[in-house]
Amino acid sequence: MPRKPLLEFNDCGIYCSAGEFYIDPWKPVDKALITHAHSDHARPGSKKYLAHNLSEEILKYRLGDIDLETISYNEPVTINGVKISFHPAGHIIGSSQIRVEYKGEIWVVSGDYKLEDDGVCAPFEPVKCHSFISECTFGMPVYKWKPQKEIHDGINSWWKQNLEEGKATVIVGYSLGKAQRILQHLDHSLGKVYAHGVIQNTQEALLRNGLNLHATYRITPETNKEEIRKGIVLAPPSSVGTPWMRKFQPYGFGYCSGWMALRGAKRRMAADRGFVLSDHADWDGLVQAIEATECETVYLTHGYTASFSRYLSEIGYDAREAKTLYGGDEATEADEAPVEIVDEEGDVIKDKEAVAESGGGEL
C-alpha cells in the first residue's frame, strides 16, 4: 500500500497530517505556517500562526490581533514529531521556504520566490528535498528578466528627466515588496520620496520590525503639491486613475511589473513608462531553483502550471499541477492587499482585505 504523502492539498490548503498543521491555508485552521505576508498566502481567522520574525509586524498590521509565533531562518523546530525550518525565498522581506521532514521524507514549500538578490530581503537559498512545491507565475520562456541595476538606473533617469521638465513623478508598485525594492534603489540625492498611505503604513510596520529603510513621507491633504513635484511619489496599483493620483497633474506615471514584459501592458495601464521589475522568478530562475533542490517531484501551485508541468515532465521530473488559491499578491490590475480607501481629499477612510481567488501571479 502506497505511503500517504507527507503534505497534501485539501479544501483548506497544504496540510501535514503527521504534524497537524497547514502551510499558507486559504481557510481558517488551527495551526497555520506562513511563507510570507502577501494576502493570498497569509489570511485571517486561524487560531495560531507561525512565520519568520521579519514578517511579525506586517502580519499584525494586515491580520490584526493574532496568536503569532516567529522564528529565524535555519532554526529547526519540531511540531508533533515533524521537523520544520524556514529558509530564505528572496521574494519579499521575511519571505520563506518551509522545509518539512518526517521519517526521512523531505518536502519544501517555496511560497513565492526569486533568485536575483534584490539588496532588500534575504537572498534565495536552495533547499534539497524529495518533493518541491513551487509557483510558476512567469513559467514561460518569454519571461527573462534583465539585471535589476539596469531597471533601477532607468527609473532614476526617468525621474531626473521629469524633474527637469517640471513634472511630478508617480511610480506604481505593490505596497509590500515592490515598493521597498523601488525605494531602496532610488537616487535619493534627487529629492524626497512621498508615499501613499497604504505604502506608508506598510513602511511603518516594517520599521517597527527593525528594518533599515530609506525615509518616506506620508501624503496628506496638507502636503504641499509643489514640494511633491520636487520629489517622487510611491503609489500602489489601487491608486491608478483615482482622484488621489490625478491631483498631482502634470505628472509622469511609471508602472513596475513583471507583466510589463508583455506587449501592450503599459498601454492598458495608461502608463508613460513600464519598468519590467518582478519579485517572482523568471523562466530561467524557476528551472534553476527546481534543479538546485535535486527533487524528484514538483507540484505547481499557480501561474502557467499546465505548460510548465509539461516542460518539467519532458526533462525527467514527476511534475503535477495543484489547485490552490495562490497568485493574488499582484494577480490583477489592482493592488489587492490591503487596499486603502481614501476620500476625494486623499484622507484614509479605512483599510480592507481584498483576497483574490484566481491564479496568475503578480503584476
- Does 153 share its domain with 137? no
Q: Is residue 123 located within the same domain as residue 152?
A: no
| Single-letter amino acid code for the residue at 336 | E
Residue 33 near residue 22 (C-beta atoms within 8 A): yes
| Shared domain check, 106 and 232 | no
Question: The whole model's pTM is what?
Answer: 0.90
- Rounded Cα gap, residues 59 and 117, in angstroms: 23
The pLDDT tens digits of the residues spanning 260-300 come to 998 777 777 778 899 999 999 999 999 999 999 999 999 99
CATH number at residue 172: 3.40.50
Residues 134 and 166 in one domain: no
**Predicted pLDDT of residue 330:** 52
Q: How far is CA 34 from the centre of its chain?
A: 13
| 287 class by beta-carbon count within 10 Å (0-12 exposed, 13-18 middle, 19+ buried) | middle
How far apart CA 51 and CA 60 sit, in angstroms, is: 11
305 and 181 co-located in one domain = no
The whole-number pLDDT of residue 359 equals 27
Asked whether residue 127 is assigned to any structural domain, the reply reads: yes
Query: Contact at 8 Å (CB) between 67 and 47?
Result: yes
Residues 285 and 191: their CA atoms lie apart, in Å, by 34
What average pLDDT does the segment 230-238 reach?
Answer: 96
In this structure, are residues 35 and 89 in contact, taking their beta carbons and an 8 Å threshold?
yes
221 occurs within a structural domain: yes
- Total of domains in the chain: 2
Round to whole Å and give the CA distance between 324 and 305. Answer: 11
Looking up residue 44, the CATH number of its domain turns out to be 3.60.15.10
What percentage of the chain carries pLDDT values higher than 70?
90
What is the extent of the structural domain holding 322?
8-142+280-327
Report whether 203 contacts 288 (CB < 8 A).
no
Between 197-208 and 56-63, two packed helices, what is the crossing angle to 10 degrees? 140
21 and 55 co-located in one domain: yes
Q: Please write the tens of the pLDDT for every residue from 296-332.
A: 999 999 999 999 999 999 999 999 999 999 986 554 4
Q: Does residue 217 sit in the same domain as residue 125?
A: no
Q: Regarding beta strands 31-33 and 251-256, do their DSSP bridges make them parallel or antiparallel, or are they unpaired?
A: unpaired
